[in-house]
Structure 1
């Protein structure tokens, strides 16, 4: 067996990337990401793309600095399904933590759906500790184009950044 090594970089996600991010969610989700990119201009959030040499995103995620004073909250994290479990999620989280540290903040937070034990295991491996739970919900686009309300329970996790 031959190992394939991808050289990855993290950069700002830009509007032009959205056309190649269909793997990350529905048109409704990508429209929300486009709205979040507007918040980048006011420094309320950072939104990252992880790319191989092709410079086409294979992972994306945001850091919101408005959720809790003194912390960066990671959200909308996604890795292309075909590339999951290859270390790209770790690379994305570490790049987001660097953005948080570069703002002089020392705490990162996130919420993980309780129905996603693999994601939670990743965050625990990276040093995140559960501190609470809360319900969350959002509108989701069904394959037929209709909207439905998605409801879930999330475990809230945080990490002290050194």
Structure 2
């Protein structure tokens, strides 16, 4: 359920469900990142078909994704690595991130694994606070980098430092 309050304090509640992200969902996920990012998600869906990853979507009653994220089972021995989490900006802070992470943890557990791991950019304290509230503990740092498409169509390299976090399931 998405729950928020309007300016009059009236509660707005919308049921949601978690399911696998599908190829047909990608056009509705342009809020999650650049065209370069969506092409990467498309490649990850091919890996999902091979069982190497799961890619989840939190969807509205009209079956529109409002939060997405993946779990990679090839990154860390004995763990599922949660990554590429995104929530529709207008619906952030409504509990969708928590729902998505808990669903990812259930998928990890259903594979017989007992640990979830993730990396969060150091300059994203809001996300880190969410992960800490959900029981994730920092255990290291590492640099990360990826190419992203700028509004003018050029490709720029994004480099960052991430905090590595994990949670025993």
Q: TM-score, normalised by structure 2?
A: 0.94
1:145 aligns to what? 153
* Partner secondary structure for residue 32 of structure 1: helix
* Partner secondary structure for residue 13 of structure 2: coil
Q: Could you list the per-position Cα deviations for residues 39-86 of structure 1 after superposition, in whole angstroms to 9, with x for gaps in the alignment?
A: 011110000000111110000000000001110000000000000000
| The structure with more strand, counted as a fraction of residues | 2
After TM superposition, list the pairs within 5 Å mapping 1:78-93 onto structure 2. 78-93=86-101
The CA RMSD measured in Å over matched residues stands at 0.5
1:13 aligns to what? 21
2:36 aligns to what? 28
* 1:71 has 2:79 as partner: yes
Partners of 1:99 and 1:32 lie apart in 2 by 21
The alignment covers a number of residue pairs equal to 161
**Aligned counterpart in structure 1 of residue 49 of structure 2, from 19, 31, 41:** 41
2:132 aligns to what? 124
Q: What is the Cα deviation at residue 142 of structure 1? A: 0.3
Q: TM-score, normalised by structure 1?
A: 0.98
Runs ≥4 residues deviating over 2 A: none
Structure 2 unaligned blocks of 5 or more: 1-8
Q: What is the Cα deviation at residue 111 of structure 1? A: 0.0
Q: Could you list the per-position Cα deviations for residues 120-144 of structure 1 after superposition, in whole angstroms to 9, with x for gaps in the alignment?
A: 0000000000000000000010000
* 1:58 has 2:59 as partner: no
